A and B are shown apart, each in its own frame.
Chain A
Amino acid sequence: MSVRHALLALLSEGPKYGLQLRQEFEARTGDVWPLNVGQVYTTLQRLERDGLIRSDGEGEVGPQKSFRLTAAGGVELDGWLRTPPDLSSPPRDELVIKVLVASGVPGVDVHDVVQTHRRHIVQLMQEWTRLKRDSSADELSLALVVDAELFRLDSVIRWLDAADARLRRAASTRAPSAAPNDSVAASQLASGAPDPTVARETEISR
Protein backbone atom coordinates (compact mmCIF):
# COMPACT_ATOMS: atom_id res chain seq x y z
CA MET A 1 0.00 0.00 0.00
CA SER A 2 1.09 3.60 -0.45
CA VAL A 3 2.22 5.29 2.78
CA ARG A 4 3.06 8.29 0.66
CA HIS A 5 -0.52 8.78 -0.49
CA ALA A 6 -2.04 7.92 2.85
CA LEU A 7 0.03 10.76 4.36
CA LEU A 8 -1.15 13.12 1.63
CA ALA A 9 -4.74 12.14 2.47
CA LEU A 10 -4.22 12.87 6.16
CA LEU A 11 -2.67 16.24 5.29
CA SER A 12 -5.66 17.09 3.07
CA GLU A 13 -7.55 17.64 6.34
CA GLY A 14 -5.11 20.35 7.50
CA PRO A 15 -1.53 20.82 8.75
CA LYS A 16 -0.16 18.06 10.97
CA TYR A 17 3.04 17.00 12.77
CA GLY A 18 4.97 13.86 11.92
CA LEU A 19 4.08 11.93 15.08
CA GLN A 20 0.46 12.95 14.72
CA LEU A 21 0.48 11.62 11.15
CA ARG A 22 1.86 8.28 12.31
CA GLN A 23 -0.79 7.94 15.06
CA GLU A 24 -3.63 8.92 12.76
CA PHE A 25 -2.42 6.61 10.00
CA GLU A 26 -2.40 3.63 12.36
CA ALA A 27 -5.78 4.55 13.86
CA ARG A 28 -7.40 4.99 10.46
CA THR A 29 -6.14 1.65 9.21
CA GLY A 30 -7.41 -0.26 12.25
CA ASP A 31 -3.81 -0.73 13.49
CA VAL A 32 -3.37 -3.37 10.80
CA TRP A 33 -0.43 -1.58 9.19
CA PRO A 34 2.08 -0.42 11.86
CA LEU A 35 4.30 2.41 10.66
CA ASN A 36 7.67 3.33 12.18
CA VAL A 37 8.41 6.96 12.75
CA GLY A 38 11.54 6.85 10.61
CA GLN A 39 9.45 5.75 7.64
CA VAL A 40 7.08 8.65 8.27
CA TYR A 41 9.84 11.26 8.28
CA THR A 42 11.63 9.77 5.28
CA THR A 43 8.39 9.81 3.33
CA LEU A 44 7.64 13.39 4.43
CA GLN A 45 11.10 14.52 3.24
CA ARG A 46 10.49 12.95 -0.16
CA LEU A 47 7.03 14.48 -0.43
CA GLU A 48 8.47 17.90 0.41
CA ARG A 49 11.29 17.41 -2.09
CA ASP A 50 8.68 16.59 -4.75
CA GLY A 51 6.66 19.72 -3.94
CA LEU A 52 3.61 17.77 -2.78
CA ILE A 53 3.76 19.11 0.80
CA ARG A 54 5.53 22.01 2.51
CA SER A 55 6.73 22.40 6.09
CA ASP A 56 6.30 25.26 8.50
CA GLY A 57 9.66 26.37 9.83
CA GLU A 58 13.29 25.69 8.93
CA GLY A 59 15.71 22.89 9.72
CA GLU A 60 15.55 19.14 9.93
CA VAL A 61 12.25 17.31 10.07
CA GLY A 62 11.26 16.44 13.60
CA PRO A 63 8.46 16.60 16.13
CA GLN A 64 8.44 20.42 16.10
CA LYS A 65 7.73 20.70 12.39
CA SER A 66 4.26 20.65 10.90
CA PHE A 67 3.40 19.88 7.29
CA ARG A 68 0.67 20.96 4.94
CA LEU A 69 -0.54 19.80 1.51
CA THR A 70 0.35 21.87 -1.56
CA ALA A 71 -1.93 22.29 -4.57
CA ALA A 72 0.24 19.79 -6.46
CA GLY A 73 -0.15 17.39 -3.54
CA GLY A 74 -3.94 17.72 -3.78
CA VAL A 75 -3.84 16.89 -7.48
CA GLU A 76 -1.55 13.92 -6.82
CA LEU A 77 -3.87 12.61 -4.08
CA ASP A 78 -6.98 12.98 -6.21
CA GLY A 79 -5.31 11.18 -9.11
CA TRP A 80 -4.17 8.34 -6.85
CA LEU A 81 -7.62 7.88 -5.32
CA ARG A 82 -9.14 7.46 -8.75
CA THR A 83 -6.39 5.37 -10.32
CA PRO A 84 -7.36 1.68 -10.41
CA PRO A 85 -4.89 -0.33 -8.35
CA ASP A 86 -2.57 -2.87 -9.84
CA LEU A 87 -4.62 -6.04 -9.39
CA SER A 88 -1.62 -8.31 -9.06
CA SER A 89 -1.78 -10.27 -5.83
CA PRO A 90 -2.74 -9.22 -3.19
CA PRO A 91 -4.99 -6.61 -4.76
CA ARG A 92 -7.70 -5.89 -2.25
CA ASP A 93 -5.70 -4.21 0.44
CA GLU A 94 -4.89 -1.22 -1.73
CA LEU A 95 -8.52 -0.90 -2.76
CA VAL A 96 -9.70 -1.13 0.86
CA ILE A 97 -7.29 1.63 1.81
CA LYS A 98 -8.41 3.81 -1.07
CA VAL A 99 -12.04 3.54 -0.06
CA LEU A 100 -11.22 4.06 3.62
CA VAL A 101 -9.09 7.07 2.79
CA ALA A 102 -11.57 8.49 0.28
CA SER A 103 -14.34 8.42 2.88
CA GLY A 104 -12.43 10.99 4.93
CA VAL A 105 -11.00 13.28 2.26
CA PRO A 106 -12.88 16.57 1.99
CA GLY A 107 -14.35 17.23 -1.42
CA VAL A 108 -14.08 13.61 -2.58
CA ASP A 109 -17.28 11.64 -3.15
CA VAL A 110 -16.41 8.18 -1.87
CA HIS A 111 -19.27 6.64 -3.89
CA ASP A 112 -17.77 8.13 -7.02
CA VAL A 113 -14.44 6.54 -6.14
CA VAL A 114 -16.17 3.18 -5.47
CA GLN A 115 -17.95 3.35 -8.84
CA THR A 116 -14.70 4.16 -10.66
CA HIS A 117 -13.17 0.97 -9.31
CA ARG A 118 -16.37 -1.05 -9.83
CA ARG A 119 -16.44 -0.10 -13.52
CA HIS A 120 -12.77 -0.87 -13.98
CA ILE A 121 -13.12 -4.31 -12.39
CA VAL A 122 -16.26 -5.21 -14.38
CA GLN A 123 -14.37 -4.24 -17.54
CA LEU A 124 -11.54 -6.56 -16.54
CA MET A 125 -14.09 -9.33 -15.92
CA GLN A 126 -15.58 -8.73 -19.37
CA GLU A 127 -12.12 -9.22 -20.90
CA TRP A 128 -11.52 -12.46 -18.95
CA THR A 129 -14.97 -13.76 -19.88
CA ARG A 130 -14.34 -13.01 -23.50
CA LEU A 131 -11.10 -14.97 -23.29
CA LYS A 132 -13.04 -17.93 -21.85
CA ARG A 133 -15.77 -17.56 -24.46
CA ASP A 134 -13.28 -17.57 -27.31
CA SER A 135 -11.33 -20.55 -25.99
CA SER A 136 -12.15 -24.07 -27.09
CA ALA A 137 -13.91 -26.51 -24.76
CA ASP A 138 -10.78 -28.65 -24.25
CA GLU A 139 -8.69 -25.77 -22.88
CA LEU A 140 -9.46 -26.77 -19.32
CA SER A 141 -6.45 -25.12 -17.69
CA LEU A 142 -7.28 -21.81 -19.28
CA ALA A 143 -10.91 -22.07 -18.13
CA LEU A 144 -9.76 -22.82 -14.59
CA VAL A 145 -7.34 -19.90 -14.55
CA VAL A 146 -9.95 -17.56 -15.97
CA ASP A 147 -12.51 -18.80 -13.42
CA ALA A 148 -10.04 -18.15 -10.61
CA GLU A 149 -9.51 -14.61 -11.84
CA LEU A 150 -13.24 -14.03 -12.33
CA PHE A 151 -14.09 -15.25 -8.83
CA ARG A 152 -11.31 -13.12 -7.35
CA LEU A 153 -12.54 -10.02 -9.17
CA ASP A 154 -16.15 -10.89 -8.34
CA SER A 155 -15.27 -10.91 -4.66
CA VAL A 156 -13.79 -7.42 -5.03
CA ILE A 157 -17.02 -6.23 -6.67
CA ARG A 158 -19.04 -7.74 -3.85
CA TRP A 159 -16.88 -5.97 -1.29
CA LEU A 160 -17.27 -2.66 -3.16
CA ASP A 161 -21.06 -3.15 -3.25
CA ALA A 162 -21.14 -3.90 0.46
CA ALA A 163 -18.87 -0.97 1.27
CA ASP A 164 -20.98 1.36 -0.87
CA ALA A 165 -24.17 0.23 0.90
CA ARG A 166 -22.61 0.52 4.36
CA LEU A 167 -21.27 3.99 3.67
CA ARG A 168 -24.69 5.13 2.40
CA ARG A 169 -26.41 3.62 5.42
CA ALA A 170 -23.91 5.24 7.78
CA ALA A 171 -24.39 8.61 6.06
CA SER A 172 -28.17 8.37 6.26
CA THR A 173 -28.18 7.44 9.95
CA ARG A 174 -25.81 10.33 10.71
CA ALA A 175 -27.86 12.81 8.70
CA PRO A 176 -30.77 13.53 11.14
CA SER A 177 -28.53 14.66 14.01
CA ALA A 178 -26.13 16.51 11.70
CA ALA A 179 -28.81 18.26 9.67
CA PRO A 180 -29.66 21.08 12.13
CA ASN A 181 -26.04 22.21 12.18
CA ASP A 182 -24.24 21.85 8.91
CA SER A 183 -21.06 23.41 10.26
CA VAL A 184 -20.77 20.64 12.84
CA ALA A 185 -21.21 18.06 10.10
CA ALA A 186 -18.66 19.82 7.94
CA SER A 187 -16.10 20.02 10.70
CA GLN A 188 -16.61 16.34 11.50
CA LEU A 189 -16.09 15.53 7.86
CA ALA A 190 -13.04 17.76 7.64
CA SER A 191 -11.51 16.25 10.77
CA GLY A 192 -11.98 12.86 9.16
CA ALA A 193 -12.95 11.38 12.50
CA PRO A 194 -13.16 7.69 11.80
CA ASP A 195 -16.62 6.20 11.98
CA PRO A 196 -16.23 3.34 14.47
CA THR A 197 -19.07 1.42 12.79
CA VAL A 198 -17.40 1.49 9.40
CA ALA A 199 -14.00 0.67 10.91
CA ARG A 200 -15.45 -2.33 12.71
CA GLU A 201 -17.28 -3.59 9.63
CA THR A 202 -14.17 -3.15 7.52
CA GLU A 203 -12.14 -5.11 10.00
CA ILE A 204 -14.69 -7.92 9.92
CA SER A 205 -14.68 -7.97 6.12
CA ARG A 206 -10.96 -8.60 6.15
Chain B
Amino acid sequence: MSALQLIHVSKTYGRGATEVHALLEIDLTVEPGELVAVMGPSGSGKSTLLTIAGSLEEPSSGLVTVGGMPLSRLSRSEQAALRRRSIGYVFQDFNLLAGLTAVENVSLPLDLDGVAARTARAAALAALDRLGLAGRADRFPDQLSGGERQRVAIARAVVGERHLLLADEPSGALDSVNGEAVMRLVRDTCQGGVAGVVVTHDAQLASWADRVIFLRDGRIVDQTARVQGPESLLDADPAR
Protein backbone atom coordinates (compact mmCIF):
# COMPACT_ATOMS: atom_id res chain seq x y z
CA MET B 1 0.00 0.00 0.00
CA SER B 2 1.35 3.41 -0.95
CA ALA B 3 2.26 5.70 1.93
CA LEU B 4 1.02 8.76 0.05
CA GLN B 5 -1.01 9.23 -3.10
CA LEU B 6 -2.10 12.42 -4.78
CA ILE B 7 -4.54 11.74 -7.60
CA HIS B 8 -5.41 14.59 -9.99
CA VAL B 9 -4.94 17.06 -7.18
CA SER B 10 -5.53 20.73 -7.97
CA LYS B 11 -5.55 23.75 -5.69
CA THR B 12 -6.96 27.12 -6.66
CA TYR B 13 -6.89 30.27 -4.56
CA GLY B 14 -9.23 33.22 -5.18
CA ARG B 15 -11.93 33.56 -7.82
CA GLY B 16 -12.43 35.27 -11.15
CA ALA B 17 -9.73 37.80 -11.97
CA THR B 18 -7.77 37.00 -8.81
CA GLU B 19 -7.87 33.24 -9.35
CA VAL B 20 -4.50 31.54 -8.93
CA HIS B 21 -3.90 27.89 -9.75
CA ALA B 22 -1.29 26.79 -7.21
CA LEU B 23 -1.48 23.12 -8.23
CA LEU B 24 -2.87 21.55 -11.39
CA GLU B 25 -3.70 17.87 -11.85
CA ILE B 26 -0.90 16.54 -9.66
CA ASP B 27 -0.42 12.77 -9.65
CA LEU B 28 2.16 11.54 -7.18
CA THR B 29 2.68 8.24 -5.40
CA VAL B 30 5.27 7.70 -2.66
CA GLU B 31 5.95 4.20 -1.40
CA PRO B 32 7.05 3.27 2.13
CA GLY B 33 10.82 3.66 2.40
CA GLU B 34 11.00 5.97 -0.59
CA LEU B 35 12.35 9.52 -0.40
CA VAL B 36 11.03 11.91 -3.05
CA ALA B 37 12.34 15.44 -3.53
CA VAL B 38 10.23 18.14 -5.14
CA MET B 39 12.19 20.91 -6.86
CA GLY B 40 10.97 24.06 -8.51
CA PRO B 41 11.33 27.82 -8.50
CA SER B 42 9.57 30.06 -6.00
CA GLY B 43 5.83 30.04 -6.58
CA SER B 44 5.86 26.72 -8.42
CA GLY B 45 3.55 25.11 -5.83
CA LYS B 46 6.10 23.12 -3.79
CA SER B 47 4.91 24.20 -0.35
CA THR B 48 1.24 23.92 -1.32
CA LEU B 49 1.87 20.35 -2.43
CA LEU B 50 3.41 19.59 0.95
CA THR B 51 0.63 21.16 3.02
CA ILE B 52 -2.01 19.28 1.02
CA ALA B 53 -0.08 16.01 1.35
CA GLY B 54 0.05 16.60 5.10
CA SER B 55 -3.70 17.42 5.37
CA LEU B 56 -2.90 20.94 6.57
CA GLU B 57 -4.89 22.19 3.59
CA GLU B 58 -7.60 20.66 1.42
CA PRO B 59 -7.28 20.37 -2.34
CA SER B 60 -9.83 22.16 -4.55
CA SER B 61 -10.23 18.89 -6.43
CA GLY B 62 -8.65 15.46 -6.56
CA LEU B 63 -7.93 12.80 -3.98
CA VAL B 64 -5.23 12.51 -1.30
CA THR B 65 -4.64 9.22 0.49
CA VAL B 66 -2.25 8.59 3.38
CA GLY B 67 -1.56 4.92 4.08
CA GLY B 68 -4.42 4.08 1.71
CA MET B 69 -6.95 6.22 3.63
CA PRO B 70 -8.60 9.01 1.61
CA LEU B 71 -8.29 12.20 3.69
CA SER B 72 -11.65 13.44 2.42
CA ARG B 73 -13.36 10.59 4.27
CA LEU B 74 -11.92 11.68 7.61
CA SER B 75 -13.51 14.22 9.93
CA ARG B 76 -11.43 17.17 11.09
CA SER B 77 -10.63 15.48 14.40
CA GLU B 78 -9.70 12.25 12.62
CA GLN B 79 -7.40 14.22 10.32
CA ALA B 80 -5.79 15.89 13.35
CA ALA B 81 -5.24 12.47 14.92
CA LEU B 82 -3.69 11.22 11.66
CA ARG B 83 -1.34 14.21 11.63
CA ARG B 84 -0.24 13.56 15.22
CA ARG B 85 0.24 9.81 14.78
CA SER B 86 1.29 9.17 11.23
CA ILE B 87 2.72 12.33 9.70
CA GLY B 88 5.88 14.15 10.74
CA TYR B 89 6.71 17.68 9.58
CA VAL B 90 10.07 19.40 9.39
CA PHE B 91 10.09 23.11 8.65
CA GLN B 92 12.84 25.44 7.53
CA ASP B 93 12.69 27.48 10.74
CA PHE B 94 12.47 24.39 12.99
CA ASN B 95 9.25 25.55 14.77
CA LEU B 96 10.43 24.40 18.19
CA LEU B 97 8.63 25.79 21.22
CA ALA B 98 11.12 28.00 23.06
CA GLY B 99 9.65 27.28 26.52
CA LEU B 100 10.04 23.51 26.22
CA THR B 101 13.23 21.46 26.45
CA ALA B 102 14.40 19.32 23.54
CA VAL B 103 12.81 16.17 24.95
CA GLU B 104 9.58 18.02 25.74
CA ASN B 105 9.42 19.35 22.19
CA VAL B 106 9.92 15.86 20.80
CA SER B 107 7.36 14.21 23.09
CA LEU B 108 4.73 16.87 22.41
CA PRO B 109 2.88 15.06 19.55
CA LEU B 110 2.62 11.96 21.74
CA ASP B 111 1.48 13.99 24.77
CA LEU B 112 -1.21 15.64 22.64
CA ASP B 113 -2.28 12.23 21.44
CA GLY B 114 -2.90 11.07 25.00
CA VAL B 115 0.12 8.79 25.33
CA ALA B 116 1.16 8.36 28.98
CA ALA B 117 3.80 10.94 29.96
CA ARG B 118 6.41 8.36 30.92
CA THR B 119 5.95 6.41 27.67
CA ALA B 120 6.03 9.61 25.61
CA ARG B 121 9.25 10.77 27.30
CA ALA B 122 10.90 7.39 26.76
CA ALA B 123 9.98 7.45 23.06
CA ALA B 124 11.25 11.03 22.75
CA LEU B 125 14.54 10.18 24.46
CA ALA B 126 14.96 7.20 22.12
CA ALA B 127 14.36 9.44 19.08
CA LEU B 128 16.87 12.00 20.35
CA ASP B 129 19.38 9.24 21.04
CA ARG B 130 19.06 7.97 17.45
CA LEU B 131 19.93 11.47 16.27
CA GLY B 132 22.93 11.78 18.58
CA LEU B 133 21.25 14.21 20.97
CA ALA B 134 20.81 12.10 24.09
CA GLY B 135 23.07 14.46 26.04
CA ARG B 136 21.07 17.53 24.97
CA ALA B 137 17.60 16.30 25.96
CA ASP B 138 17.10 18.79 28.77
CA ARG B 139 18.44 21.83 26.95
CA PHE B 140 16.11 24.56 25.71
CA PRO B 141 16.19 25.47 21.98
CA ASP B 142 18.22 28.65 22.58
CA GLN B 143 20.90 26.52 24.26
CA LEU B 144 21.33 24.42 21.11
CA SER B 145 23.19 25.12 17.85
CA GLY B 146 21.26 25.48 14.59
CA GLY B 147 22.18 21.95 13.54
CA GLU B 148 21.10 20.56 16.91
CA ARG B 149 17.78 22.43 16.77
CA GLN B 150 17.06 20.96 13.38
CA ARG B 151 17.91 17.48 14.64
CA VAL B 152 15.44 17.99 17.48
CA ALA B 153 12.83 19.00 14.88
CA ILE B 154 13.54 15.80 12.96
CA ALA B 155 13.31 13.74 16.15
CA ARG B 156 9.90 15.31 16.80
CA ALA B 157 8.85 14.49 13.23
CA VAL B 158 9.77 10.81 13.50
CA VAL B 159 8.89 10.04 17.13
CA GLY B 160 6.36 7.24 17.60
CA GLU B 161 5.00 5.30 14.66
CA ARG B 162 5.13 7.84 11.83
CA HIS B 163 4.70 6.60 8.29
CA LEU B 164 5.14 9.83 6.38
CA LEU B 165 7.80 12.52 6.80
CA LEU B 166 7.19 15.87 5.09
CA ALA B 167 9.99 18.42 5.02
CA ASP B 168 10.08 21.96 3.68
CA GLU B 169 13.66 23.12 3.05
CA PRO B 170 14.75 21.00 6.02
CA SER B 171 18.33 22.20 6.13
CA GLY B 172 17.14 25.80 6.39
CA ALA B 173 20.04 28.18 6.68
CA LEU B 174 22.45 25.51 7.91
CA ASP B 175 25.92 25.29 6.39
CA SER B 176 26.57 22.54 3.87
CA VAL B 177 28.04 20.04 6.36
CA ASN B 178 25.10 20.41 8.79
CA GLY B 179 22.69 20.42 5.84
CA GLU B 180 24.19 17.13 4.69
CA ALA B 181 23.84 15.72 8.22
CA VAL B 182 20.14 16.63 8.20
CA MET B 183 19.58 14.94 4.84
CA ARG B 184 21.49 11.89 6.03
CA LEU B 185 19.05 11.66 8.95
CA VAL B 186 16.04 12.07 6.68
CA ARG B 187 17.50 9.43 4.37
CA ASP B 188 18.14 7.02 7.25
CA THR B 189 14.61 7.56 8.55
CA CYS B 190 13.21 6.59 5.16
CA GLN B 191 15.55 3.61 5.03
CA GLY B 192 13.63 2.38 8.08
CA GLY B 193 10.38 2.28 6.10
CA VAL B 194 9.05 5.83 6.43
CA ALA B 195 8.01 7.56 3.20
CA GLY B 196 9.54 11.01 2.80
CA VAL B 197 8.77 14.07 0.71
CA VAL B 198 11.24 16.95 0.77
CA VAL B 199 10.57 20.19 -1.04
CA THR B 200 13.60 22.28 -1.84
CA HIS B 201 15.16 24.53 -4.45
CA ASP B 202 18.57 23.12 -3.52
CA ALA B 203 19.83 20.45 -5.92
CA GLN B 204 22.36 19.15 -3.39
CA LEU B 205 19.59 18.40 -0.90
CA ALA B 206 17.37 16.95 -3.61
CA SER B 207 20.15 14.61 -4.69
CA TRP B 208 19.63 12.60 -1.47
CA ALA B 209 16.25 11.47 -2.81
CA ASP B 210 15.43 8.30 -4.72
CA ARG B 211 13.42 10.36 -7.16
CA VAL B 212 13.29 14.08 -7.94
CA ILE B 213 10.08 15.69 -9.20
CA PHE B 214 10.25 19.04 -10.99
CA LEU B 215 7.34 21.43 -10.49
CA ARG B 216 6.59 24.52 -12.55
CA ASP B 217 3.48 26.67 -12.42
CA GLY B 218 1.71 24.06 -10.29
CA ARG B 219 2.37 21.15 -12.64
CA ILE B 220 4.82 18.25 -12.53
CA VAL B 221 6.85 18.89 -15.66
CA ASP B 222 9.55 16.26 -15.30
CA GLN B 223 11.18 13.76 -12.95
CA THR B 224 14.39 11.81 -12.64
CA ALA B 225 14.57 8.07 -13.02
CA ARG B 226 15.26 6.04 -9.89
CA VAL B 227 18.91 6.30 -8.93
CA GLN B 228 21.20 3.68 -10.42
CA GLY B 229 24.19 2.35 -8.55
CA PRO B 230 27.25 4.61 -8.44
CA GLU B 231 29.40 2.02 -10.22
CA SER B 232 29.09 3.91 -13.50
CA LEU B 233 30.74 6.92 -11.89
CA LEU B 234 33.67 4.87 -10.66
CA ASP B 235 34.17 3.38 -14.10
CA ALA B 236 34.16 6.81 -15.72
CA ASP B 237 37.12 8.50 -17.31
CA PRO B 238 39.60 9.48 -14.56
CA ALA B 239 39.76 12.97 -16.08
CA ARG B 240 36.25 13.60 -14.76
- Chain A interface size, as a band, is 20 to 34
Whether the pair A88, B237 counts as a contact (CB closer than 8 A) is yes
Main DSSP-derived SS at the A contact region: helix
CB-nearest residue of chain A relative to B42? A165
Write out, one digit per residue, whether chain A residues 130-148 have a CB within 8 A of any chain B CB (1) or not (0). Answer: 1101100000000000000
Q: Is the CB of A125 within 8 A of B203?
A: yes
Q: When each residue 221-235 of chain B gets 1 if its CB lies under 8 Å from chain A and 0 otherwise, what string results?
A: 111110111101110
Inter-chain contact A122/B212, CB cutoff 8 Å:
yes
Query: Are B208 and A129 neighbours in the complex by a CB distance under 8 Å?
Result: yes
CA distance A127 to B237 in the complex (A): 16
Cα–Cα, bound, A165→B206 (Å): 20
Q: Is B29 an interface residue (CB 8 A)?
A: no
| A133 and B225 form a contact (CB under 8 A) | no
Interface residues on B, range: 20 to 34
Binary interface profile of B, 200-240, with partner A (CB < 8 Å = 1, else 0)?
Answer: 01111011110010100000011111011110111001011
The residues of A that contact B230 with a CB separation of less than 8 Å are: 127-128, 130-131, 134
Instruction: Say which residue of B41, B207, B224, B237 sits within 8 Å of A161 (CB atoms).
Output: B41
Q: Which among A17-25, A27-35, A65-73, A149-157 touches the partner chain?
A: A149-157
A88 touches B208 (CB 8 A): no
Contact with B along A108-123 (1 / 0, CB 8 A): 0000000100110111
Given contacts A89-B239, A150-B204, contact A126 B222 (CB under 8 A): no
Q: Tell whether, in the assembled complex, residue A125 and residue B214 are in contact, meaning their CB atoms are under 8 Å apart.
A: no
Distance (whole angstroms) from the CB of A144 to the closest CB of chain B? 12
**Contact flags B71-104 to A (C-beta < 8 A → 1, else 0):** 0000000000000000000000000000000000
Q: Can you list 10 A-B pairs, Cβ within 8 angstroms, ordered by A?
A: A115-B214, A118-B222, A119-B223, A122-B39, A126-B212, A127-B227, A128-B230, A130-B227, A157-B203, A161-B201
Q: Chain A residues in contact with chain B, CB under 8 A?
A: 87-89, 115, 118-119, 121-123, 125-131, 133-134, 149-151, 153-154, 157-158, 161, 164-165
- A133-B208, A150-B207 are known; give 9 further A-B pairs, CB within 8 A: A87-B240, A88-B239, A122-B39, A123-B212, A126-B224, A130-B227, A149-B240, A161-B201, A165-B41
